[in-house]
Amino acid sequence: MRLWSIHPKYLDTKGLLGLWREGLLAQKCLLGLTKGYVNHPQLIRFKQTSNPSLYIGTYLYYVYLEGIRRGYRFNLSKIKTYDLTLEKIPVTVGQLRYEYQHLLNKLKTRSKTHYELIKDLKEIEPHPLFKIVPGEIEPWEKVNFQYR
């Protein structure tokens, strides 16, 4: 499961569609509707909010908007609840940089065209539910490649 902290606009088609599916699975987990993945590290920051299901629904809503912008037909009714006025969740600049590099690594083999489009970004925007704060990679992240 990967619930990207970077803005969904950076994802290629496969990445965005995967994020939609993973977000829906995360929503089920946080609503207590599944037994699997409930302790997945990617869910920690949502569990630390005042209303995890509302936050994951809001996260999904922004993914939905990106999908609609690209012409996909994501089903809004699959999002149980959302609120665009929620206080943003902090995400470290180190986490954003790590995820950007992680995405680039995936795109090198999956979509060279998309890789070329985003490989030279100087500033990485977060997913709209997050606000950038100073810091290194988040403690819950499972680092799976040499970073830096």
User: How much of the chain exceeds pLDDT 70, in percent?
Assistant: 97
With respect to residue 1, please indicate whether it lies within any of the assigned structural domains: no
- Digit-coded pLDDT (tens) for 118-136: 999 999 999 999 999 999 9
Q: Is residue 147 part of a domain?
A: no
Range of the domain at 89: 8-133
Question: 81, exposed or middle or buried, with CB in 10 Å at 0-12, 13-18, 19+?
Answer: middle
Structure confidence at residue 39 (pLDDT): 85
Q: The dihedral of CA 72, 8, 139, 88: what is its sign?
A: negative
Confidence of residue 147 (pLDDT cuts 50, 70, 90): low
Judge whether residue 142 has pLDDT over 90. Answer: no
CB 101 within 8 A of CB 147: yes
Domain membership of residue 139 (yes or no) is: no
Tell me, yes or no, whether 142 lies in a domain: no
- Residue range 10-53, pLDDT digits in tens: 999 999 999 999 999 999 999 999 988 888 899 999 999 999 99
8 Å CB contact between 133 and 126: no
Q: What is the pLDDT of residues 66-84, one digit of tens each?
A: 999 999 999 999 999 999 9
Q: Structurally, how many domains does the chain consist of?
A: 1
Is 146 within a domain? no
Average pLDDT estimate for 56-65:
98
Residue, of 1 and 21, whose pLDDT is higher: 21
Let me know: does 6 contact 126? Beta carbons within 8 Å: yes
Alpha helices in 7-127 (DSSP H): 13-30, 44-47, 52-69, 93-110, 112-118
pLDDT of residue 98: 96
The amino acid sitting at 8 is: P
Q: What is the pLDDT of residue 37?
A: 85
In a domain, 145, yes or no: no
